[in-house]
Amino acid sequence: SVLTQPPSASGTPGQRVTISCSGGRSNIGSGTVNWYQHLPGTAPKLLIFSNDQRPSGVPERFSGSKSGTSASLAISGLQSEDEADYYCSTWDDSLKGAVFGGGTQLTVL
């Protein structure tokens, strides 16, 4: 993938976990990053848009940030229901299309 994410992450209930997303100048470096939560068999859900904005209804436990050509999703106060796949995404000016990261499978131990 054009955007690089760790394939897996884990934490215990109540912990804070972060998921990284690394890209380049033509994608993260020149645009904004969105994050999605995806549970198998369901529709993906927009979690964070424009780097650090939460749609209404998304808990404050979820936060996003971007610096240079990298972005991060942080989940604080981890809950069992947060166990899902998480994807970063942005527009790539060189490819003239959007790109997703490879996804990070989050396990709540």
Can you tell me the distance from the alpha carbon of 31 to that of 17, in angstroms, rounded to the nearest whole number? 24
What φ, ψ does residue 28 adopt, rounded to 5°? -60, -40
Strands 62-67 vs 45-48: parallel, antiparallel or unpaired: unpaired
> Which CB atom, from 35 or from 82, has the smaller least distance to other proteins?
35
If DSSP codes are grouped into helix, strand and coil, which group holds residue 75? strand
Pick one of 25, 39, 98, 107: the residue that binds other proteins (CB under 8 A): 98
Q: What number of residues does the chain have?
A: 109
Separate counts of helices (H) and strands (E) for the chain: 0, 9
Q: Which stretch binds other proteins (CB under 8 A): 22-30, 32-40, 65-73, 74-82?
A: 32-40
Q: Which stretch binds other proteins (CB under 8 A): 8-16, 17-25, 35-43, 65-73?
A: 35-43
* Min separation Cβ 25 and other proteins, Å: 18
Tokens read off for 63: 């936060």
Q: Which stretch binds other proteins (CB under 8 A): 12-20, 46-54, 62-70, 74-82?
A: 46-54
Return residues touching other proteins (CB under 8 A).
1, 34, 36, 38, 42-46, 49-50, 55, 85, 87, 89-91, 95-103
